[in-house]
Amino acid sequence: MARIIVEKLPFHRRSSSPMDQEDNAIARNGLLGRPDDGATRTLAELLKRVGDTTHQDGDGDGSPLGWPQPSSPHNHVLELEDLSLGVGRSPPFVLSFSNLTYSVKNPKKMSFFGRRRNRLATSSPEGASAGSAGAEDVSRYAKTKTLLNSISGEAKEGEIMAVLGASGSGKSTLIDALANRMVKGRVKGSITLNGEILESRLLKVISAYVMQDDLLFPMLTVEETLMYSAEFRLPRALSKSKKKSRVQALIDQLGLRAAAKTVIGDEGHRGVSGGERRRVSIGIDIIHDPIILFLDEPTSGLDSTSAFMVVKVLKRIAQSGSIVVMSVHQPSYRLVGLLDRLLFLSRGRTVYSGTPEGLPHFFAEFGHPIPENENRCEFALDFIRDLEGSGPGGTKALVEFNRSWQAMKHTSGGGGGG
């Protein structure tokens, strides 16, 4: 499926689709493809191209979010043939994050008498100096709660990376941090794509974020819903027929062909199933064919069969050329088989990072082997939960073991655990 240009901004090429065949001039190659001399296009060049096309419109701030007006002469679909790139396949995308740390202030509540004393101290002239000292004392009560503590990992094109953990472990916080949905400057660490710092303005263009809760019009059909999304999110210069082609291809990719003419529905109107509704929500956000797809618990509230179908669709999306990063609470045995990389969190710390196949060896080395024929992820989650409730030390030993495990795997050049 070709990456198209959302309001004149370029995207990376995927595998061919009916849309590719219909308009090769729109998306011939990605900006990260290889030129004729064999050199690799860098993210810096991609970002520069984004900036150049933006500055052409004279919006002043160089932001790709400053879309041109309908009358703008530059409001067109950029033909990637102009970039003088060859037809070679670019290297796969790799999203890496290192030492991500995120903390919030957690001020301690003061009693009524404590607040009253502080107001009296600061309201009188003779108590000004005392009030200042009192304010300093109050500030000492402010504590910092670390929600993410030096989280590192990577997600690759063609794969699904699942972030797992109990409620409050930091799953959604990590997804939000990677998707740049946090307050600027609060997240420490680095996020790179193919080894280069991923700037926020580029991330907004090449990614999509699917929230846990959806907002869909109940009386629109699946096809109409996706068509509305195409009208709003695809380039204005793209013809109606090409937008329809994109919607039809997406319906097939989402496995919604049988439900295409069915209304979404609500409590008072019979419509699509819960799993189909979730897939429609995903379709709305990937209509522009993003490189990176973030999802916050896409299987939440679904039965095991519907959850499996949703993740199966996400696997298909990943294999078509995307990086899929999602949080999941309690994956079933079948669902685990669709995941490529796991990241277990406990109170903001990493307790395991690696493949599903590496879990048994990891826990065996830790001294707690996973019983045969047991769901590996369920065992890991239950074991982590038991450690969290075991006392002050909690999962500290497991966190330290994971660090040494990762260091060993890095030294030996890989393996199932890392």
Tokens 């879309």 sit at which residue? 67
Question: In this model, does residue 364 exceed pLDDT 70?
Answer: yes
Question: In this model, does residue 130 exceed pLDDT 90?
Answer: no
What domains, with CATH codes, occur in the chain? Answer: 1-91 (no CATH), 147-412 (3.40.50.300)
Give 366's contacts (C-beta < 8 A, 6+ positions apart). Answer: 398, 401
Q: What does the pLDDT look like over 285-340, one tens digit per residue?
A: 999 999 999 999 999 999 999 999 999 999 999 999 999 999 998 899 999 999 99
**Terminal CA-CA length for the chain:** 31
Q: What does the pLDDT look like over 141-191, one tens digit per residue?
A: 557 889 999 999 999 999 999 999 998 899 999 999 999 998 766 899 999
* Residue 415, CB-side half-sphere exposure with 13 Å CA sphere: 15
Contact 33, 90 (CB under 8 A): yes
> pTM of the full predicted structure?
0.75
Q: What is the mean pLDDT of residues 28-43?
A: 39
Cα 238 to Cα 11, 92, 230, 241, 363: the distances in Å are 15, 28, 10, 8, 53
Look at residue 183 in the predicted model and tell me its pLDDT: 76
Q: What does the pLDDT look like over 40-67, one tens digit per residue?
A: 445 555 555 554 444 444 343 333 333 3
What span, in angstroms and rounded, lies between the C-alpha atoms of 402 and 353? Answer: 8
